[in-house]
Structure 1
Amino acid sequence: MKQQSRPIEILLVEDNPADVDLTLESFAEISTRNRLHPVKDGEEALRFLRQQGEYTNAVRPDMIMLDLNLPRMDGLEVLEIIKSDPELKTLPVLVLTSSHSQKDILASYSLHANCYLTKPLGLDRFYQIARAVESFWFDLVALPRTERPG
């Protein structure tokens, strides 16, 4: 198993405050190695990723957790922009959404999502997802480490 020398930075793109709270609580409960950075829509996520506006000092995330049902710009649009941008396309994107639709699953993978997770009902299931993400993505998988210029 790999040992992390720095926190794992996760950009959480989620407009539902209750789901943000559940995700933050779940990840905080299972690990102290991660830091979640919640943003409420796709446009805000892109500003964060590009260090624009209020996010000029934003960290480069190691991973993005992306809801599909977002205001202003839906998650599939955000995913398409991320995966077509040479600066961003190597970032792992985990779709975390309430949709069980095969259309959404296929569209997400067609746009190169790294995995598709359906939001669980209840805190215990959120903990299960947080543990699975932590174990697989941060203990087993080698993530690209690209530092921001500066």
Structure 2
Amino acid sequence: MEKIILLLVIFAMFGCVEQREGNSDKGVVETIDSTGLSRESRLFDDIEVMSVEAGWYEGQYPQVAIKFRNNSEKELDGYVKVKYQFVEDDEVFDEGFKFLHTASDVNWGSGLIKNRIFKSYKGYNYWGNHKIKAKICFEDNSLIWEGEVGHKIVIE
């Protein structure tokens, strides 16, 4: 009897979520929630990356500027969290997150573009030939952009 109750509890806890294979080109496994939509598909279907510019501000701090567009036919009204990470060689030297949109913001209208700059707050005291890589993801770790921060000087 205890085994049956334990199985019912496990089923109740995990029965609302299933996993299925996503786009075979990406080899992605999507998590499907009770709405029937995966987190990844909601984010990528609703938000489009328009442009990415990576470089250095004040000559010493790496940054990545991204333009996002609400690509859905509806206004977005919830939280959209974006995480970032800066790496040199095999060391993460700065990481954090920014909200692209919050529930307290005015709804993000269909077709409208938002800009976000992801800056490292740790930099260098001298200009050098640093090879910095950046990785930008949505909260569920769906990749937005990953690449090397070139040697271009950018202005905020």
Q: TM-score range, shorter-chain basis?
A: under 0.3
- Structure in which a larger fraction of residues adopt helix: 1
After TM superposition, the score normalised by the length of structure 2 is 0.24
